[in-house]
């Protein structure tokens, strides 16, 4: 009788331990934007964008250099410049500034469209990647990193999601 009682107590303890461990949530935290934009597809897109806007970047670099030269000239030669030379210099600087702003707006608009298009095209794969990581890791709860005030790095599954996304995009 005592032996049966000991076996029942031991069985109860094991069941309690098993059910307690089964009820413990397995939590993961994912930074969706980081997972997406660290993927190989995003890196390929970035290389494509860099190539596409290379001429604009070179033009912007030239304009910035010319603006610096104009500012240096204005500061260096201000005391010996006539009013008309100062106005001409100021006008040239404003014109270059406007050109620079136009380039920046055009590139920013195109980048925004390309990024949004990329996000839309990858939305389904990102969801599948998260589902795969959840299934493989036995996660019962996955939180968006942007919605969490604090978490230990051990909960971060962003790299796993990126790896799964790369796998799905092959």
Q: In sequence order, what are the residues at sequence separation of 6 or more whose Cβ sits closer than 8 angstroms to the Cβ of residue 39?
A: 122, 162, 165, 166, 169
Q: Residue 36 in contact with residue 129, Cβ under 8 Å?
A: no
Q: What is the predicted pLDDT for the residue at 6? A: 38
pLDDT tens readout for residues 38-55: 999 999 999 999 999 999
| Structural domain contains residue 99 | yes
Closest by CA to 30, choosing from 169, 151, 166, 167, is: 151
Per-residue pLDDT at 4 = 43
For residue 51, being part of any structural domain is answered with yes
3-class DSSP assignment, residue 157: coil
Number of structural domains (the chain) is 1
Q: Structural domain of residue 39, as residue ranges? A: 25-169
- Residues 100 and 60 sit within 8 Å (Cβ to Cβ): yes
CA nearest to 142, candidates 19, 32, 20, 23: 32
Strand partners, 30: 144
pLDDT surpasses 60 at 122: yes
Residue with tokens 């076996």: 7
pLDDT reading at 153 higher than 60: yes
**Is the pLDDT at 145 greater than 90, yes or no?**
yes
pLDDT of residue 22: 55
């Amino acid at each position: 009788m005592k032996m049966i009682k000991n076996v029942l107590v031991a069985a109860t303890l094991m069941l309690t331990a098993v059910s307690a461990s089964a009820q413990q949530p397995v939590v993961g935290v994912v930074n969706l934007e980081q997972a997406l934009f660290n993927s190989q597809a995003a890196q390929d897109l970035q290389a494509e964008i860099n190539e596409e806007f290379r001429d604009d970047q070179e033009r912007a670099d030239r304009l910035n250099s010319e603006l610096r030269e104009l500012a240096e000239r204005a500061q260096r030669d201000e005391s010996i410049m006539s009013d008309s030379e100062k106005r001409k210099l100021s006008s040239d600087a404003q014109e270059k500034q406007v050109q620079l702003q136009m380039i920046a707006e055009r590139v920013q608009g195109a980048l925004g469209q390309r990024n949004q298009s990329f996000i839309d095209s990858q939305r389904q794969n990102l969801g599948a990647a998260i589902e795969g990581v959840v299934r493989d890791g036995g996660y019962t709860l996955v939180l968006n990193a942007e919605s969490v005030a604090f978490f230990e790095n051990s909960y971060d599954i962003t790299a796993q999601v990126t790896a799964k996304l790369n796998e799905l995009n092959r």
